[in-house]
């Protein structure tokens, strides 16, 4: 009688092991190692004290959840790459057009650079500060400015500055320095070594696409 019970238990366990193995194997190649380990666990269990079948079900459930998360992660990565490709294509179509970008530096060349910033409150003394790579500051007094948008233009020849890159910031009465927006021509779009997208704007140089706050299209040549 005992022999019969042991035989039945062993047969039942083997059957359960085969079913679980088939179910796990259907989940994909990543489950092969888990399948091997689980089948070995089932075959080598003590017939007198067989493991609770719910433990195997729990392990199978955990495997399924893990593989689902892995698939979601892979899908998210794929979607991210697709979005970057679409972004590159979209930005490529804007090359040659005028854009506005947020930047803490400005590239001064032959032409004037238009820019703006927004004040949260009236400022009795508003100053635009340009700092060269060598640390030399050029302070431009903008006087009293009301709350809201403030436009400005930078022409290096008028300011007597050499061509080059300058850090730029705004000093206003009892206010945090506002973000500065600069207008320029979108010169190129490229993929960086890390897979990210880099844009080149004439008044700023290379920057991230999310620095662009507005597209103004191409300037129509006058006849």
Task: Give the CATH number of the domain where residue 177 resides.
Answer: 2.60.40.4070
Residue 222 has pLDDT above 60, yes or no: no
Same domain, 118 and 200: yes
**Distance, CA of 182 to CA of 9 (rounded, Å):** 78
Mean pLDDT, range 61-77, rounded to an integer: 73
Give the predicted TM-score (pTM) of the model: 0.61
Q: What is the pLDDT of residues 162-204, one digit of tens each?
A: 999 999 999 998 888 899 999 999 998 887 887 778 899 999 9
Same domain, 114 and 193: yes
For residues 167 and 144, the answer to whether their CB atoms sit within 8 Å is no
What is the pLDDT at residue 15?
Answer: 44
Residue 119 has pLDDT above 90, yes or no: yes
For residues 109 and 131, the answer to whether their CB atoms sit within 8 Å is no
What's CA 160's distance to the chain center, in Å?
40
Query: Domain range holding 111?
Result: 93-217
Residue 2 or residue 50, greater confidence: 50
Nearby residues of 91 by Cβ (< 8 Å), 6 or more positions away: 186, 189, 197, 199, 209
**Do the domain assignments include residue 189?**
yes
**Do the domain assignments include residue 223?**
no
End position of a domain, from candidates 31, 57, 91: 91
| pLDDT tier for residue 53 given thresholds of 50, 70 and 90 | low
**Do the domain assignments include residue 142?**
yes
| Three-point CA angle 181, 169, 142, nearest 5° | 90
Same domain, 66 and 176: no
Residue 12 has pLDDT above 50, yes or no: no
Rounded to the nearest integer, the mean pLDDT of the chain is 78
End position of a domain, from candidates 91, 111, 137: 91
């Amino acid at each position: 009688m005992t022999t019969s019970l042991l035989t039945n238990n062993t047969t039942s366990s083997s059957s359960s092991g085969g079913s679980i193995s088939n179910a796990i194997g259907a989940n994909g190649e990543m489950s092969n190692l888990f399948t091997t380990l689980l089948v070995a666990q089932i075959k080598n269990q003590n017939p007198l004290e067989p493991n609770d079948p719910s433990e195997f079900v729990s392990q199978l459930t955990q495997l399924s959840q893990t593989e689902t998360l892995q698939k979601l992660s892979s899908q998210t990565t794929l979607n991210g790459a697709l979005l970057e490709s679409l972004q590159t294509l979209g930005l490529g179509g804007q090359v040659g057009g005028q854009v506005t970008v947020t930047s803490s530096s400005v590239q001064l060349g032959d032409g004037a650079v238009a820019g703006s910033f927004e004040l949260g409150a009236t400022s009795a003394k508003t100053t635009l500060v340009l700092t060269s790579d060598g640390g030399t500051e050029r302070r431009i007094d903008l006087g009293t400015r009301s709350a809201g948008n403030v436009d400005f233009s930078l022409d290096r020849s008028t300011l007597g500055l050499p061509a080059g890159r300058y850090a730029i910031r705004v000093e206003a009465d009892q206010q945090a320095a506002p973000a500065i927006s600069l207008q320029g021509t979108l010169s190129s779009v490229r993929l960086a070594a890390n897979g990210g997208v880099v844009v080149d704007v004439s008044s700023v140089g290379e920057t991230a696409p999310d620095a662009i706050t507005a597209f103004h299209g191409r300037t129509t040549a006058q006849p």
